[in-house]
Amino acid sequence: MLNRRKLMLKMLGTHQSATVHQLVEWLGASPATIRRDLRWLNERRLVDRRHGGVDHLARDRPLASLSGTFRKNMGTQTAAKRAIAQFAASLCHDGETVIINGGTTTFHMAKFLEDKRLAIYTNSFLMAERLLSTSDNEVYLTGGKIYREQNVMVTPFDDSPMPFVSKMFTSVYAVSTLGLMEADPLLVQTEQRLMNQADKLIVMVDGEKFTRKAGLILSKLSRVSCIITDSSAPAAVIGVIKHSGIKVILVDAGFGTGDA
């Protein structure tokens, strides 16, 4: 069932619209099954239904109901974020268990994880919904209160069950020679708790994040295994970070990569 819905989304992404009859022919399923699938996808705002079929893949429609901050950030540095996310997804291998922290850069990973077979823990209900709808990955939501401003779950509890995982992928508000920085104190405790459950910490930030200022230190650079960024990152700051022993990967919108 999940594979059929996943294939349906891919076909609609290519054709933009289809009738029930067309979907029956493409997928080899009955009209009743196709209608049930369309209803399921429509309820999750992944498609726009019309009488007799579906108009288009509504990947961006859920953003209209999200917080102003998240929606605004989704529209900035989009090409860089997608390239960073694509490379980050290439570091995930079938059978792994990983943590993906909520954020607009990490959210782009969902598209590139569609064909993976991972166990994924995330505090982003938006990412969890997307992964459940378009992939065969096992998806687990971390517990806690929904923080509407950032569309993630935050929790003060340290006893929520979560395994120790191989990698955590995260973005942050800013990166400096002092470490990883956040501007929102409500996020710091939750992110630190997630970081404590991962062996490797992989930081995904576009070049703009190296020019920002923030007052809260989330982590020292020594905790970071790798930083994935784009070619707009300031060379001087990248040089200092590399000198401290942190691996830095540069990507561009065409998914070209290289060590900084």
pLDDT tens for 114-138 read: 999 999 999 888 888 888 878 889 9
pTM: 0.74
State mean pLDDT over 51-66.
Answer: 59
Output the six-digit token pair for 145: 């209160």
Confidence of residue 160 (pLDDT cuts 50, 70, 90): low
Confidence of residue 17 (pLDDT cuts 50, 70, 90): confident
State mean pLDDT over 235-246.
Answer: 94
CA-nearest of 212, 242, 236 to 77 is 212
**Count of CB atoms situated within 10 Å of the CB of 226:** 17
Strand partners, 227: 203, 248
Burial class (CB in 10 A: 0-12, 13-18, 19+), 136: middle
Dihedral sign for Cα 68, 73, 79, 85, please: negative
* C-alpha 17 chain-centroid distance: 26
What is the assigned CATH class of domain 2-59? Answer: mainly alpha
* C-alpha 204 chain-centroid distance: 10
Answer whether residue 173 shows pLDDT above 80: yes
Residue 97: per-residue pLDDT: 97
- % of residues, the chain, pLDDT over 70: 82
**CA atoms within 13 Å, Cβ hemisphere of 48:** 11
Residue 72: per-residue pLDDT: 61
Quickly count helices (H) and strands (E) in the chain. 10, 16
Name the 3-class secondary structure at 130: helix
Confidence of residue 221 (pLDDT cuts 50, 70, 90): very high
Q: Report which secondary-structure segment, H or E, holds 111.
A: helix 109-112
* Domains of the chain by residue range: 2-59, 64-259
Confidence of residue 87 (pLDDT cuts 50, 70, 90): very high
Look at the domain 64-259 and name its fold: Rossmann fold (3.40.50)
**The tokens 């700051």 sit on which residue?**
237
Distance CA 242, CA 145 (A): 37
Burial class (CB in 10 A: 0-12, 13-18, 19+), 68: exposed
Output the six-digit token pair for 83: 């390239």
Confidence of residue 210 (pLDDT cuts 50, 70, 90): very high
* Residue with the larger pLDDT of the pair 209 and 71: 209
Q: Is 85 left (phi over 0), alpha (psi -120 to 50) or beta?
A: alpha
Output the six-digit token pair for 232: 């707009």
